[in-house]
Amino acid sequence: MKQIPDRDASHDLAGAVEQACRAERALNIAAGRTKDFLGNRPDVDCQLLDISGHTGILQYDPSELILRARAGTRLAEIEELLADHGQMLPFEPPHFGPAATLGGCVAAGLSGPRRAYTGAVRDFVLGVTIINGNGEILSFGGQVMKNVAGYDVSRLMVGSMGTLAVILDVSLKVLPLPQLEKTRVLECGSENAIETMCALCGSCRPPYPVSATCYYGEQLYVRLSSTENAVQTAIEKIGGEGLEHDQRFWQEVREQRHAFFESSMNFWRLSMPPATPYRLSAGSLIEWGGAQRWLKSDAAVDVRTQIEVGHATLFRRSSDAQDHASSQQIFHPLSAELMQIHRRLKQSFDPHGLFNKGRMFRDL
């Protein structure tokens, strides 16, 4: 299946970048703008480069599990098309609004509840077409996993927050929908929540078909996804209670509409080894078998001083912090060596410093 939109749209965007380059004018790349809250705010002098109109499914081959679409294409449209063919985006990306786009999904690099068991966004990106800081249209990667030419460059765009290039289109690997999904709810104290999640996800032989875990309020939610026989067998061994409207529950967790996120405080996203002991306050929610932990805290607290391993991102700032500049870094500070790599990448892709200046780190 192919839909070939107007090719001139890509060249119009490239022309806008080239003009900005000549004028030495910084650009703020945006489309659906559902993730504007993430990262530092753009400089007031930045000019908006809106790619929301750069849409269309360029190629979709259900038999090959490959989809290629333009960056402004809405995630909802892509997911509806895939569902019609019994397929899905394996990393279950959060939308944070109906206008969420494929380009924003890749640029933010965010994955949903399925990430720890199926893979992250970068694991399924096969190739990208981009505009670099000189206004040149470049293509990297291929349309099959075996084609590794430029594959790492494609992955560099994932989580780059638009600081390296304008993403024009993305090729993705998709997967079939599971035959059956069921969620079990286990009563579980905080002292053994991590141990229970790790046991369910790794140490059992054969392993259970776990596709999501969430611990909150002394309850452990475990989603099972596989064939009907495998899911029913796992339910018999795991026990617990069934969860009514379980699809809605996981969507609320993914989209941060769960009751836990109904707060005006800062929300921190902690990434750490799954087996790291539970040492956080009661204001926390744990996903990904222990690897992702959400913590809400007072605006004056720097959570990074409280964790020994992993890294912390100030994912959402409190309502108070929205009105004034925060001295805290949004993303976890990098070592001098890693920051040097970031600077070299920025220089290679965006030598004039046009794109989303300071969105990730204020001096980059």
* pLDDT tens string 133-181: 999 999 998 665 444 444 478 999 999 999 999 999 999 999 999 999 9
- Cα 80 to the chain's mean position, in Å? 19
Q: Mean pLDDT over all residues of the chain? A: 89
Helical H runs in the chain?
8-23, 75-84, 102-108, 115-118, 151-156, 193-198, 228-238, 246-254, 336-349
Q: Which CATH architecture has domain 8-176?
A: 2-Layer Sandwich (3.30)
- Cα 201 to the chain's mean position, in Å? 21
What value, to the nearest 5°, has the Cα angle with vertex 197 and ends 193 and 201? Answer: 175
pLDDT at residue number 198: 85
Question: What is the spatial distance between Cα 128 and Cα 75, in angstroms, rounded to a whole number?
Answer: 17
Q: Is-cis flag, bond preceding 206, omega within 30?
A: yes
Phi-psi region of 314 (alpha: psi -120 to 50; beta: other; left: phi over 0): beta
* pLDDT tens string 309-331: 899 999 998 766 554 445 678 99
Confirm whether pTM is higher than 0.85.
yes
Give 99 or 203, the one with higher predicted confidence: 99
- Which residue matches tokens 């776990």? 210
Whether the per-residue pLDDT at 59 is higher than 60: the answer is yes
Domain spans of the chain, in order of start: 8-176, 178-332
Q: Tell me which residue of 264, 290, 265 sits closest to 279, measured CA to CA.
A: 290
Q: Can you tell me whether residue 270 is helix, strand or coil?
A: strand
Q: Tell me which residue of 243, 239, 236 sits closest to 216, measured CA to CA.
A: 243
* pLDDT tens string 64-96: 999 999 999 999 999 999 999 999 999 999 999
